[in-house]
Amino acid sequence: MRLLRVELLRFRSRALIRWGAAGAVLIGLLFVFGAYQSSAPVPQAEIDAARADYDEAVADWEENGAEYTAECEEEEAAEKENDPTVDFGCEDGGPGEWSDWIGGTSSFSDVGLELVDVAGVVYLMVALVLGVTFSAAEMSTGAISSWLTFEPRRRRVYWSKLAAAAIGVLPIVAVALGVVVGGAWLAFTLNDAQGSMTTGAWAGLAWVLARTLLGAAAFAALGVALGVLTRSTAGALGLVFAWLVVVEMIFGTMEFFGGLKRFLLAVNTQAWVSGRATYYTETCVASDDRGIDCTYAEHVVPMTQGGLVLAVLVVVVCVTAAVTFRRRDIA
Amino acid sequence: MATVRELSDETDSAISTRGLRKTFRSVRGRSVGVDGLDLDVPVGGVHGFLGPNGSGKTTTIRMLLGLARPDSGTMRIFGHEVPGALPLVVGRVGAIVEQPKFFPSFTGRRNLELLAGAIGAEDRMVGTVLAEVGLSERSRDRYRGYSLGMKQRLAIAATLLKDPDLLIFDEPTNGLDPAGIREIRETMRGLGERGKTVLVSSHILAEVAQVADTVSIIGRGRLLAQGSVDEIVGRQSGSVVRVGIEAPDRAVEVLRAAGLTARVDAGVVLVDGVEDASEVTRVLAGSGLFVRDLTTLRADLESVFLELTAGERPGGFVPDDGPGSGADGSAARGPGAAEPAPLTGSLKAVSKHGRHQGGVS
């Protein structure tokens, strides 16, 4: 406990951690600004312009609607000779409803959860970076050698750092999430766009927040382990960046690796934070007319799988770093 | 149940190593850092740990502190086998390994507060040790803004947090100005006089010769000599008597006839291995030769150091599948390496190589 207390003191004393905390809050404010913009009432000038366009479309439809429908049905019939299932939707023509023309404004009940989902994933990355800098700085400056001359039990030293980072990021992420949720609610309220948040909706939001906090602790620990392994902030962040680009963005979009998509870090992180995530696979076969027929399938990754994959990743990396740190010579 | 401090009183050695060996792997093969080192540092006083750059001093210290793992051999601090028992004795050991290493963005005080917290030292100790090293006024400055001398002083303050019985200083004056060097030297001497054991590793003879009560000299990871400064100097090189005389050639003949080793060098007569200078004057006077002046030249630590470490280049490479360690922990030696000589009393002249060459900075 003594070591943990000292590591927590070091965590909150680090300038980079403080800057990171400020950055997390700033990101939260950006989300709030976006929420305010999306829920702001449409200006009267835009409404007037839309009204003019709508009236013009109605008049045009009254005058030429029958002709447009006939043309549409004619083209549809011609196309049906090739593909009997085709449907041009000719009966749905016309200017539509006025509400379709003025563009909708979103409400908290519509987008609040989605907002927290996105912010949550961002904050997991912030926690990872804070964890990396926390341990890598000590390794790269050589301060760890001074530290070990005071506490030579490396296992204790390592786990205290891991625990300190995991605990230390919690208030930072909690405050940042509070800014997002509280700020977004305030922004929607100012625009009179709270919507109808049911008890169930609030509970769902609370679960997302709780899972994000738990995930942030795990990602901070993962960051500490990566910092210990690479002994360099740039090295650890470079490794993460390379993984995201090579594995998640390049291999992840290749259909050849379609079967492995369910294990992608991005998919499983989203599943853990949001409760579920979807990904798509494409299967193409040669058709009879020498073409290619492709079918697309949607796959759902449940929250439990997301949590399990992340837990395995964190445990494997943390234990590997622990063994490495215990056996490694310290310069 | 006996305390750690009581248990340690059972041994006369603050540090003791036997057959300590450490190799490093690299793309060029495996280099030997420490090669079967038998080191004994007595309790109390200042012990110089001498050797050319790359001779294995820092590696030895890092192994003693648990920062590096030995390939084989045993190490004891105050009788406790380390690194296994390091947690038991680490509270009694303060160490600065190479350059002081602290968090650059923290203040000096915050760095010490963290270390004090790790060992459960009282907060007031931080202020006390900062005052002791004269850093109170700059304690709230960031460490990165400290001069090298201030960094060294902060490192010494850190070691004092534990009120240690053993202090290990590795090249403590590197990069310091003359005033800083004197300050560090006086600190070491003061600690030694207070009954602490101070192990100071250095490649600078003058630094150690002025403060050390005992020394160990190593080269290429092997112990070359160990004992008090006087013992080593006396054992390693006898006295030379320089004789100013009218007829040096005639004097050499007379002296040689009397069984002494004499030669002419730049117009003066040098007589080697003289136990008693009066013997020289008596022989010469007996032949009607009268001495104009006579000086006894005693070897100093530097000449002994150079003599012992001549040819001891740092860290040669051996093939990956080269000689390894014996099952008993004894280090394997390459062909042609000198075998240790028997230890005599407290003086352990282990090997002697060639003529003086190279130098130390």
Report the alpha-carbon distance of residue B126 to residue B136 in Å, rounded.
10
The model's confidence at residue B300, banded by pLDDT at 50, 70 and 90, is low
- Is B320 inside a domain boundary? no
Report the CATH number that the domain containing residue B155 is assigned in CATH.
3.40.50.300
The model's confidence at residue A41, banded by pLDDT at 50, 70 and 90, is confident
Q: What is the pLDDT of residues A107-133, one digit of tens each?
A: 888 888 889 999 999 999 999 999 999
- Is B144 inside a domain boundary? yes
Report the CATH number that the domain containing residue B278 is assigned in CATH.
3.30.70.270
Q: What is the pLDDT of residues A197-220, one digit of tens each?
A: 888 889 999 999 999 999 999 999
Q: Does B199 lie in the same domain as B115?
A: yes
Q: Indicate the SS3 state at residue B108.
A: helix
Q: Does B198 lie in the same domain as B52?
A: yes
Dihedral sign of CA atoms B258, B260, B264, B269 in order: negative
List the single best residue of A4, A13, A147, A149 to mutate versus B (max B Cβ within 10 A). Answer: A149
A211 touches chain B (CB under 8 A): no
- Is B270 inside a domain boundary? yes
- Is B308 inside a domain boundary? no
Q: Could you give the count of Cα atoms lying within 13 Å of B90 in the half-sphere of its Cβ?
A: 21
pLDDT more than 90, % of chain A: 56
Q: Is-contact B320 B9, C-beta < 8 A?
A: no
Q: Does B246 lie in the same domain as B147?
A: no
Q: What are the residue boundaries of the structural domains of chain A, listed by start? A: 2-40+106-327, 44-100
Of the two residues A283 and A175, the one the predictor is more confident about is A175
pLDDT(A9) > 80: yes
pLDDT(B320) > 70: no
Give residue A321's pLDDT: 97
Number of domains present in the structure of chain B? 2
* Inter-chain touch A150–B120, beta carbons under 8 Å: no
Q: Does B280 lie in the same domain as B242?
A: yes
Report the alpha-carbon distance of residue A195 to residue B69 in Å, rounded.
64
Compute the average pLDDT of residues A306-323.
Answer: 96
Q: Does B228 lie in the same domain as B264?
A: no
- Is B73 inside a domain boundary? yes
The model's confidence at residue B10, banded by pLDDT at 50, 70 and 90, is low
Query: Which of A292-301, B142-151, B252-261 is predicted with the least confidence, judged by mean pLDDT?
Result: A292-301
pLDDT(B341) > 80: no
Residue-averaged pLDDT of chain B: 79
Residues 6 or more apart whose CB falls under 8 angstroms from that of A58 comprise A95
Q: Indicate the SS3 state at residue B96.
A: strand
Report the alpha-carbon distance of residue A268 to residue A250 in Å, rounded.
17
Q: Does B174 lie in the same domain as B255?
A: no
Q: Could you give the count of Cα atoms lying within 13 Å of B205 in the half-sphere of its Cβ?
A: 18
Q: Does B261 lie in the same domain as B230?
A: no
Tell which A residues from 123 to 152 touch B, by Cβ distance under 8 Å: 137-138, 141-143, 145-152
Q: What is the pLDDT of residues B138-170, one digit of tens each?
A: 999 999 999 888 898 899 899 989 889 999 999
A164 touches chain B (CB under 8 A): no
The model's confidence at residue B238, banded by pLDDT at 50, 70 and 90, is low
Contacts of A137 in chain B (CB under 8 A): 103
Residue type, B290: F
- The residue out of B249, B272, B297 marking a domain boundary is B297
* Inter-chain touch A13–B102, beta carbons under 8 Å: no
The model's confidence at residue A194, banded by pLDDT at 50, 70 and 90, is confident
Compute the average pLDDT of residues A286-299.
Answer: 79
Q: Does B179 lie in the same domain as B42?
A: yes
Q: Which residues pair with A295 in a beta bridge?
A: A283
Compute the average pLDDT of residues A238-267.
Answer: 86
Domain of residue B268: give its range: 238-297
pLDDT(B134) > 90: no
Give residue B340's pLDDT: 34
Report the alpha-carbon distance of residue B176 to residue B146 in Å, rounded.
13
Minimum distance, in Å, between the CA of residue B259 and any CA atom of chain A: 56
Compute the average pLDDT of residues A266-277.
Answer: 93
Closest-approach residue (CA) in chain B for A1:
B118
A291 touches chain B (CB under 8 A): no
- The residue out of B211, B234, B257 marking a domain boundary is B234
Q: Does B160 lie in the same domain as B43?
A: yes
* Inter-chain touch B115–A138, beta carbons under 8 Å: no
The model's confidence at residue B327, banded by pLDDT at 50, 70 and 90, is very low
Q: Does B245 lie in the same domain as B225?
A: no
- Is B282 inside a domain boundary? yes
Contacts of A161 in chain B (CB under 8 A): none
Q: Does B122 lie in the same domain as B75?
A: yes
The model's confidence at residue B234, banded by pLDDT at 50, 70 and 90, is low
Give the β-pairing of B261-265 and B268-272. antiparallel
- Is B305 inside a domain boundary? no
pLDDT more than 70, % of chain B: 77
- Is B342 inside a domain boundary? no
Say which residue the tokens 């989902």 belong to: A117
Q: What is the pLDDT of residues B183-226, one digit of tens each?
A: 888 888 888 888 899 999 987 776 787 888 899 999 889 998 88
